[in-house]
Amino acid sequence: MEKYLNAVGFKKYVQDQQVKEVIQQVINNPTEKYISNYCEDKIKIELCKKYDDELGIIIRGELDEKEEIKILAVIPYKKGNIIMDINEVDVINTDDKDDYYVYFEDEKTGNPITFYLQNVVDYLDIKDDEKVYIENIKLVALSIEGTVILPVEKEDVDVILEKEEEKWRASLLELAREGDEEAIGLLESDAKQAAELFKQRCQQEDLLTILEGYFIPYGLNDAEYSILGTIDDFCIKVNSFTKEEVYILDVTCLNFKMQVCINKEDLIGIPSKGMRFKAICHIQGHIEFI
């Protein structure tokens, strides 16, 4: 996770001693503090320090008997602003570092998505016998290398047809989740036709002229993805400590929206609305529990 410190404005803080100084700064003067008496014998703690109204660092760890912090994770984060309405998720702890990953299926596209949980203490505070209700989730992506590329050329009629096809596929997905065999068959047939068309076009066209966007798992990290999406909007944030500039990009990728955070020096090209963004990203998310 520390390699993604670039994305929140710590690109020049690459040496171990520099990182330790930043960590100590968070511990000494946190903006927010969260504590959970997890399993009675452990006190979990999260210290958050903001370096902008949306950018910051989370130090996650445990308090020992001397009330000193045993650091388990250093997490650069971006506060999400785009809400996704999701009813069901699976939360899994994969190791002893308090890294929690969340798995869910996007309702519009049916794509399985994994993200790194930002607010672990909120999750740990939920008792085993409690019913868990989710109000929403907010996804963000941190990137340390990205490229702005040209959009796919489309006419107005193509846009209209795509929107109608999206509605048709979303309705079929809803029926398929309920066990409708006809809807399942239609989705499978549509997927086969799309795969065949893609195969034919790849023989004569470049990949980026065929695919307007994609969201593909990357490497061994569950929450890392290779993404390609359309830039809907963007702004620049400044890290109050390092004064480094960070791009916040609103990106539509496979019909769902998320925000991408990338250091200005790590982005090749100048972003603008309608252009596409291509990168490897670490996906994080905040779950709003009811």
* Burial readout 220-255 (b: 16 or more C-beta within 10 A, e: otherwise): eebbbbebbbbbeebeebebeebebebbbbbbbbbb
Cβ atoms of residues 283 and 225 within 8 Å: yes
| Residue 33, both tokens | 């503090």
- Short-list 227, 195, 196, 200, CA closest to 214: 227
pLDDT digits (tens, 9 = 90+) for 61-112: 888 777 788 888 899 999 888 888 776 888 888 766 678 899 988 777 777 8
Q: Which helix (H) or strand (E) segment is 238 a member of?
A: strand 224-238
In a domain, 167, yes or no: yes
Residue 250 confidence (pLDDT):
95
In a domain, 199, yes or no: yes
In a domain, 130, yes or no: no
DSSP 242: T
Residue 202 confidence (pLDDT):
66
| Residue 14, both tokens | 């690459």
Whole-prediction pTM value?
A: 0.82
Cβ atoms of residues 223 and 117 within 8 Å: no
In a domain, 162, yes or no: yes
Q: How far apart are CA 244 and CA 204, in angstroms?
A: 43
In a domain, 71, yes or no: no
In a domain, 177, yes or no: yes
Residue 72 confidence (pLDDT):
86
**What is the CB neighbour count within 10 angstroms for residue 74?**
19
pLDDT tens, per residue, the chain with 290 residues = 778 999 999 998 877 888 889 999 999 999 998 887 766 667 888 899 999 999 999 998 888 777 788 888 899 999 888 888 776 888 888 766 678 899 988 777 777 889 999 988 888 877 665 667 788 889 999 999 999 998 877 766 766 777 777 777 777 777 777 788 887 787 777 777 777 776 776 667 766 777 788 888 987 777 999 999 999 999 999 999 999 999 999 999 887 888 999 999 999 999 999 999 999 999 999 998 87
DSSP letter string, 82-120: -EE--S--EEEE-SSS--EEEEEE-TTT--EEEEEES-H
Helix (H, G, I), strand (E, B) or coil at 216: strand
| Residue 18, both tokens | 């520099």
In a domain, 18, yes or no: no
Residue 198 confidence (pLDDT):
64
In a domain, 191, yes or no: yes
| Residue 164, both tokens | 């109608």
Residue 240 confidence (pLDDT):
93
Range of 185's domain? Answer: 153-211
Cβ atoms of residues 74 and 99 within 8 Å: no
Residue 124 confidence (pLDDT):
80
Q: Give the number of domains in the chain.
A: 1
